[in-house]
Amino acid sequence: MARVFSGVQPTGNLHLGNYLGAIRNFTRLQDDNECLYCVVDMHAVTVWQDPKVLKNNTREVTAAFLASGIDPKTHIVFNQSGVPQHAEIAWIFNCVARVGWLNRMTQFKEKAGKHRENASVGLYVYPNLMAADILAYKATHVPVGEDQKQHLELARDIAQKFNNDFGVEQFPIVEPLILDSAARVMSLRDGRKKMSKSGASDYSRLNLNDDADTIALKIRKARTDSEPVPDGSPESGDRVSRPEAFNLLEIYAALADQPISQIQNEFGGQQFSQFKEALVNLAVEKLGPIGAEMQRFGVDPKYIDSVLFDGVERARSIAEPIRDEVHEIMGFLRG
Ligand code: AQP
């Protein structure tokens, strides 16, 4: 049985990309693995968060985990800041990782943008904390969307360098689990940009708590081109020439759990207005129950908090002895 770790930031606006790229895969790994799913609140504060909003967003991500079918009794659902070993091991990784490695991280470049000098130091060393999140539990498998692949490669480099520097086999080499074609869901307004929580327009994403009318409106307004739905023939274009068209097809295929070729067989050659109506029905069918469950949990914050506190206790009991091993290896005196 492998140990699986993954996290989602409580930065609001949880969307279809977070669901298809990550959370849905979390649920699928539950039967055969020991899973830790974490609301990574310390990652969230690498950009400023309003404290009151952060609390609600932390509960909302937890509610999304539960509404999507994660079982917090068999597996561990918790918030990162409750387990201090993440920060402790991250500091050690700050001393293992090289500045040159972090300078290559594209997410930092994208998020810091032109104002690099004003970005927080936390945003810069974010991948070291992510490596600590995983390795504090010696987890080996990490389900993420494609955008996180580079950070996971860094986690592998850190584990390897730590092991080499100290001549030990302390940390395993983690495997990214990028499970399906929806590993990269794109914006509904611009098929070249990924769907993201921070996308300026709410019409760029389907939020997990959108109601049926909102889902329908956003899909009907989603950008397409003037051509019919691609049917798979070379003349009908590809992902590069028709990014918005293929994004909608991929979303449909992922929600239906079918290969994209089957969706093209069914809808290829139709007008997008027709295809969009089918997508509306499918998206409402799949996302509606999750949104409704999230709302049900939303009125019971005490229950959500109790899930997190229980998860924190159980996560600490795994991470503490691993932190102790690391301290011993490093030569830190322990009382
Ligand atoms: N568009 C996406 N397609 C597929 N997977 C995605 N993920 C995020 N966006 C997409 C996956 O969701 C998980 C949790 O993401 P996160 O909240 O920890 O961080 P993020 O990648 O920074 O999410 P966003 O939505 O893109 O937020 P902002 O706008 O703040 O940058 C991860 O596994 C991620 O791969």
pLDDT category at 182 given cuts 50, 70, 90 is: low
CA atoms within 13 A on the CB side of 31: 2
Query: Is 169 part of any domain?
Result: yes
Handedness of CA 221, 222, 225, 228 (dihedral sign): negative
Shared-domain flag, residues 98 and 111: yes
Query: Is 192 part of any domain?
Result: no
Q: What is the distance between the alpha carbons of residues 317 and 311, in angstroms, rounded to a whole number?
A: 10
Shared-domain flag, residues 253 and 132: no
**Residue 79, beta-bridge partner list:** 39
Q: Is the CB of 46 under 6 A from ligand 1?
A: no
Query: Is 196 part of any domain?
Result: no
Shared-domain flag, residues 313 and 268: no
pLDDT given for residue 177 in this prediction: 83
Q: Is the CB of 251 under 6 A from ligand 1?
A: no
Shared-domain flag, residues 125 and 214: no
Tell me the mean pLDDT in the region 169-178: 90
Reading phi first (left if > 0) and then psi (alpha if -120 to 50, else beta), residue 269 is in left
Q: What is the distance between the alpha carbons of residues 186 and 279, in angstroms, rounded to a whole number?
A: 15
- Catalytic residue ranges: 111, 194, 197
pLDDT given for residue 181 in this prediction: 59
Nearest CA residue ID for atom 14, ligand 1: 8
Q: What is the pTM of this model?
A: 0.94
| Segment 183-237, tens digit of pLDDT | 789 999 999 999 999 888 999 999 999 999 999 999 999 999 999 999 989 998 9
pLDDT given for residue 178 in this prediction: 76
Query: Is 98 part of any domain?
Result: yes
Tell me the mean pLDDT in the region 58-82: 97
Segments forming the whole domain that contains residue 218: 202-296
Query: Is 117 part of any domain?
Result: yes
Closest CA to 18 of 154, 141, 139, 198: 198
CB atoms within 10 A of CB 105: 20
Would you say residue 13 has pLDDT above 90?
no
Would you say residue 114 has pLDDT above 90?
no
Q: What is the distance between the alpha carbons of residues 298 and 296, in angstroms, rounded to a whole number?
A: 5
CATH code of the domain covering residue 141: 3.40.50.620
Q: Is the CB of 307 under 6 A from ligand 1?
A: no
Shared-domain flag, residues 243 and 256: yes
Query: Is 83 part of any domain?
Result: yes
**Residue 2, beta-bridge partner list:** 33
Query: Is 323 part of any domain?
Result: yes
Query: Is 263 part of any domain?
Result: yes
Q: Is the CB of 185 under 6 A from ligand 1?
A: yes
DSSP 3-state of 214? helix
pLDDT given for residue 199 in this prediction: 85
Handedness of CA 176, 5, 298, 196 (dihedral sign): negative
Residue 154 contacts by C-beta under 8 Å, 6 or more apart in sequence? 97, 101, 102, 105, 127, 128, 130, 131
Shared-domain flag, residues 29 and 84: yes
CATH code of the domain covering residue 222: 1.10.240.10
Shared-domain flag, residues 309 and 291: no
Tell me the mean pLDDT in the region 166-182: 85
Percentage of residues of the chain with pLDDT beyond 90: 88
pLDDT category at 147 given cuts 50, 70, 90 is: confident
DSSP 3-state of 129? helix
CB atoms within 10 A of CB 295: 13
Shared-domain flag, residues 71 and 165: yes
Shared-domain flag, residues 13 and 47: yes
Q: To test ligand 1's pocket by mutation, which of 49, 147, 185, 208 has the most ligand atoms within 8 angstroms of CB?
A: 147
Shared-domain flag, residues 123 and 219: no
Shared-domain flag, residues 56 and 121: yes
pLDDT category at 180 given cuts 50, 70, 90 is: low
Shared-domain flag, residues 239 and 162: no
* Total domain count, the chain: 2
Averaged confidence pLDDT in the chain: 95
